Amino acid sequence: MLIQEKCKAGFLALLISSVLSGCSLDGDDGAPGIQGEQGEQGETGNDGEDASQGVALTVVGRAIVGGEGAAEIVQYHGDTQTIYATNGESDTISVIDIASLTGEALTSPQTATNLTNTSLTLPTEVDGVALDGLTSIAVAGDLLAVAIPADEKSENGFVLFYEGLNSATPTFVKAVEVGNLPDNVTFTPDGTKVLTANEGEPSDDYTYDPEGSVSIITVTDGVPSDTSTAVTFESFNTMQSDLEAMGMQFPNPTGRTINGVTIDTTVAMDLEPEYITTTNDTAYVTLQENNGIAVIDLDTLSVQIFGLGVKDWSEYQIDIQENSSVSFGQYDGLYGVYMPDTITMMTWKDATFLLTANEGDAREYLFDADDEDSCLAAGGLEYDDGDCLAYLDEVKVEDLEAETNSELALLQATGEADDLRVTMAMGDADGDGLYDAAYTYGARSFTIWDENGEVVFDSGDDLERITASIHKEAFNNGDDENEGDSRSENKGPEPEAITVGTLGDRTYAFVGTERMGGIFVYDVTNPYDVSFSEYVINRDLTEGLKAEDNIGDLAPESLVYVPVENSPTGEALLISGNEISGSVTVWEVVPQ
């Protein structure tokens, strides 16, 4: 199988380029070339005078800003030492002043709070367009940018701008229209551009599917433009097979008729930009469900896309059985599809390296139906208590029909992988409905990539093995209830958030796991010589307790590193936004 063989030979990635003319992409510039195979990864660990001394993390600040959904994305304004956090529960922005914070550790960090918040109320409509809940925020200088989708799926979203952060008095300035469903917003480092990743998800019944895009808003002398420029992916519509050859996937119900509409999904519709990291010149955008990264030149608006390939789980340990115990194994015929959510970057020897948290994500779309007959008549797949399943790309390994004598057939024969969730969009190389191998969501790791799309470092099976060693059968927990080993069959610890920060002469990556709730720290000063440094978790894992029992920080969705020079405590800080517990937590980061 071509894709599988490429990935085994070094996670081979190709590059496809397309150039924008104005605000839209031109046509195909020809077939892409094949890059050479990735070189061997160096041994991890540091030695000699460059050896890392590691870090210690201690909770020194904590605020509860609401319940579930109340603290997903956090940002930090260094001049006023203020945290801004999205509050999806109340559709506001929580504002937390930490200027008086000391380095004193909280004595009961899972339950105590020593920070308070005020709320910034957001408008409910712009120019007659009703707004949905906010999705993301970004801070630069005196400006706050807030990404908000429209309430109606057919309408574009907006970025709301506030000024006055330097005086701690954010005041609404204007709203700028962007693409459909802006899910992430960020400034370029120099503050002259604001970018949004417009996911453009389909409607619940999949009969309307807007195109994914990236919007760019220029900021001149602190004043945002009244309009945005759209970067779209239309010229990739003829390149699906080339993208698939790189290990990308395009899961959708094309060809099916749902509620009288025959689904015909293009590549541009299927691509759903998720998260952006950017220099002043280049933006890197995760295409999570498609397992790729888009690279946008912010001067020429040219676009490249590279697929991320897959990870061979015969080379690492993985727990794929929910049997209330630690049960690692290595499996031929099982591959992990990286599908990164958050992306960040670092430089080494003046070269850019990308770091991704490889969460994984399935597509599931449900619409309302009166009964099973009306659901099936509308083209739905399954009915359950008012919900009609329009589309789901997820299936259990045991439900895949295997090619005779294939890797999948051998994997199924053991029965160990029967209940593992995998995607139906990969593994059927010849399209005959029979599968050669199984491809599971996410890689249960973080990865460092070079700008060619080649793997420089992957944390392998660290996240599961470390948590299993520390928590034993309580590892691979869910994010709202303590039930050990309850996520082994479905993406495991789910690395979601990632950021990098420099402390002294060392650079560290901080990785938050959405389900387990822990934070991993790696020394990535040299991306070819990476070492694990620390693991912390602020959660009571007593079996049977639930989120409402106030068990600590649950589901870290975003992490922000605060360097020493911007910290009120005189030490570096790590800020975590924890969506399920509705908590914002401040960790002090001290070299050891």
The mean per-residue pLDDT over the stretch 436-443 comes to 98
pLDDT confidence band for 45 (50 / 70 / 90): very low
Distance CA 559, CA 76 (A): 10
CATH number assigned to the domain covering 2-27+54-360+393-591? 2.130.10.10
pLDDT confidence band for 51 (50 / 70 / 90): low
CA 112 vs CA 62, 108, 116, 468: distances in Å = 7, 5, 12, 27
Local structure of 312: helix, strand or coil: strand
CA nearest 546: which of 492, 477, 485?
477
Instruction: Quickly tell me which residue has 């990635």 as its tokens.
Output: 13
Does the pLDDT of residue 39 top 80, yes or no? no
Domain boundaries, the chain: 2-27+54-360+393-591
* Structure confidence at residue 534 (pLDDT): 98
Distance CA 354, CA 453 (A): 9
Does the pLDDT of residue 8 top 50, yes or no? no
Identify the helix (H) or strand (E) that includes residue 110: none
The mean per-residue pLDDT over the stretch 191-210 comes to 98
pLDDT confidence band for 478 (50 / 70 / 90): very high
* Structure confidence at residue 64 (pLDDT): 97
Instruction: Tell me the per-residue pLDDT of 104-147, one tens digit each, with 9 for 90 and over.
Output: 999 999 999 999 999 999 999 999 999 999 999 999 999 999 99
Does the pLDDT of residue 508 top 70, yes or no? yes
The mean per-residue pLDDT over the stretch 274-298 comes to 98
pLDDT confidence band for 149 (50 / 70 / 90): very high
Q: pTM of the predicted model, to two decimals?
A: 0.92
> What percent of the chain has a predicted confidence (pLDDT) above 70?
91
Distance CA 585, CA 517 (A): 12
Does the pLDDT of residue 36 top 70, yes or no? no
Does the pLDDT of residue 24 top 60, yes or no? no
CA nearest 20: which of 266, 214, 244, 269?
214
